[in-house]
Structure 1
Amino acid sequence: MPRSAASRPLSQAKLKTLERAAKAAADHSYSPYSEFRVGAAILTASGETFSGCNVENASYGLCNCAERTAIFTAAAAGHRQIRCVVVYTPTTKATAPCGACRQVIYEFGPTARVVSVCDSKDRLDTDINALLPGAFGPADLA
């Protein structure tokens, strides 16, 4: 049985490219309240890369995380499947995506690889099913 696009392994070069894109996206963060600049880069099933940063708002509930910004940008460009999400945080310990981001990642990449990197050598390299076990998704609505 052929592997899905999401389950094909990524080359180290491609992963490094995504890591650089995620870190660069953090430079565009709008985070005047928390000053916690986060960047994300995603790889779509067709091989395109999209990045995003967190965007805060004085009404905190209206903030948007970097992961969702990247995914929504890809969706706005017509992409519906993602293979990998790389998240950069300016910390010494890798930070996993929040619950809302995990749900959105699952929606567009139910087998997506999730990699979190930071300012140290610490990293998290897993998949969305490990981060969101028993996820609710489109198949549950059928």
Structure 2
Amino acid sequence: MTDDRLDALFAAASAARENAHVPYSRFKVGVAIRTTDGRVFAGCNVENAAYPQSQCAEASAIGAMVTGGATGIAELLLIGGGDGDAQVITPCGGCRQRILEFARPNTPVHLCTPSGLRQTVPFESLLPMAFSSDALR
């Protein structure tokens, strides 16, 4: 990567990924969020022997963001997979809904493997026809 902003997000997500608690899947994921006020929050996946009680990296990062008092996602960077992987992973359906709560349709989502950026997509491409707070009004 050559963009300082992306480099900082990648470093934060990489550091979080290294702390992932994945004794069952051995599949580490790290996420970094840059908020609309410029701060960066990171999270990793945390597995549990009772599988439904596990927590995705996106949920961890969003929880840290909200705890820190931030209310908007300006961009999100996700790292998953192995060093040699060319294929990226994307947020699961539940995390896409969590991201929607704090992101805009055009919020950049950077999809990375441990070796670097592979693809950037607007959030709306990950959750078309989303159920949002607008439906509750």
TM-score (norm 2): 0.90
Aligned equivalent of 2:56: 65
Determine if contact 1:89/1:118 at 8 Å carries over to the other structure. Answer: yes
Determine if contact 2:81/2:89 at 8 Å carries over to the other structure. Answer: no
For residue 119 of structure 2, the aligned residue among 121, 124, 127 is 124
TM-score (norm 1): 0.87
Aligned equivalent of 2:109: 114
Aligned equivalent of 1:46: 37
Query: Which segments of structure 1 move beyond 2 Å, counting only runs of 4 or more?
Result: 119-122
Aligned equivalent of 1:16: 7
Greater strand fraction, Structure 1 or Structure 2: 2
CA RMSD, Structure 1 to Structure 2 (Å): 1.5
Q: Indicate the percent of aligned positions where both proteins have the same amino acid.
A: 38
The aligned length equals 132
CA distance in 1, matches of 2:42, 2:74: 14
Offset at 1:75? 0.7
Moved more, 81-90 or 119-128: 119-128
Q: Which runs of 5+ in 1 are unaligned?
A: 1-10
Determine if contact 1:96/1:124 at 8 Å carries over to the other structure. Answer: no
For residue 139 of structure 1, the aligned residue among 90, 114, 134 is 134
Moved more, 19-28 or 38-47: 19-28
CA distance in 1, matches of 2:73, 2:114: 25
